[in-house]
């Protein structure tokens, strides 16, 4: 069981901090009588990760992997998706979501969204 970015295992997100889903690029038109028609251009994978109180080492490791601006290889082999894997190359958007106080604690919450290219 592993969650990797560029083949490097990362700290697992919070218990309720991982959402893996699909983004559908589609439009649904509604006719005058309410009839519908849907046209879809494509479907892309997306992973949303959330961590609470990351240690300095974990935070820095995630920062190094997810904050370069470059696309990364996301892989999860314990997903609930068909086939048991959820792998894709995506663009990460990484944020530290809470401030820290120097001299007291440098633990921060963080989150990241990775969207398939």
Partner 1 sequence: MQTVSSAFTTATAAAYKRIGASVLIAWQKTTNASVQFFTIGQSKIGGADVLKGAGGSVTFSDKYQYTNETANVESYTISRKMSNLPWGVIMGTANITLLNANNRFTPKYDATIGNYILPDRPIRLGVGINDEYINLFTGYSEMPKSSISSRKTTIVAWDALKFLSNKKSSLQAFVNTSADQIIIALLQEQGFGVGQYNIEPSTQNKIGYLPVQDLIVTDIFKQICEAEGALMFCDENGVINFWNRIHLNNNSTSKWTFNYSNMTNVDWDNTPIVNDAIVVAKPFKIAAFNKVWENGQSYAVQPNSSLDVFADFRDDIGSFPLISIVTPVNITTAVTSSWQANQNQDGTGAEVNSGIALTSTYLFGERYRMTFANTTNAVIYLTKIQLYGTPAKVQVVDSKEQTDATSIANYGINPDNNGQIVTIDNNLVQDAATANALAYIYVKLFSTPLQRLKATVFGVPQLQLGDFVTVNEETTGQTLAMVVVGNDIEVTQNGKLAQTLSLEQRSTYQYFTIGVSRIGGSDYLAP
In 3D space, the residue among 83, 47, 86 whose CA is nearest the CA of residue 66 turns out to be 47
Count of beta carbons in the 10 Å neighbourhood of residue 62:
21
Which listed residue (9, 19, 40, 60) binds partner 1 by CB under 8 A?
Answer: 40
Tokens 């919070």, residue located: 14
Report in angstroms the alpha-carbon separations of 71 from 14, 58, 83, 115: 23, 20, 24, 9
Q: How far apart are CA 4 and CA 76, in angstroms?
A: 7
Answer yes or no whether residue 70 interacts with partner 1 by CB under 8 A.
no
Closer of 27 and 98 to partner 1 (Cβ) = 27
Answer yes or no whether residue 29 interacts with partner 1 by CB under 8 A.
yes
CB 92 within 8 A of CB 110: no
Which listed residue (1, 15, 16, 37) binds partner 1 by CB under 8 A?
Answer: 37
Answer yes or no whether residue 68 interacts with partner 1 by CB under 8 A.
no
Answer yes or no whether residue 41 interacts with partner 1 by CB under 8 A.
yes
Answer yes or no whether residue 25 interacts with partner 1 by CB under 8 A.
yes
Q: How far apart are CA 52 and CA 25, in angstroms?
A: 31
Answer yes or no whether residue 42 interacts with partner 1 by CB under 8 A.
yes
Which listed residue (1, 16, 36, 102) binds partner 1 by CB under 8 A?
Answer: 36
Which positions lie near partner 1, rule CB under 8 A?
A: 24-27, 29-33, 35-42
């Amino acid at each position: 069981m592993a969650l990797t970015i560029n083949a490097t295992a990362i700290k697992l997100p919070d218990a309720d901090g991982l959402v893996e889903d699909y983004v559908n690029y589609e439009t649904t038109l509604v006719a005058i009588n309410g009839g519908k028609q849907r046209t879809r251009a494509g479907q892309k994978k997306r992973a949303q990760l959330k961590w609470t109180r990351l240690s300095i080492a974990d935070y820095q490791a995630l920062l190094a992997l997810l904050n370069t601006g470059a696309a990364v290889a996301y892989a999860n082999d314990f997903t609930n998706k068909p086939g048991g894997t959820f792998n894709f190359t995506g663009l990460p958007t990484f944020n530290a979501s809470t401030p820290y106080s120097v001299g007291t604690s440098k633990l921060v919450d963080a989150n990241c969204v990775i969207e398939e290219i």
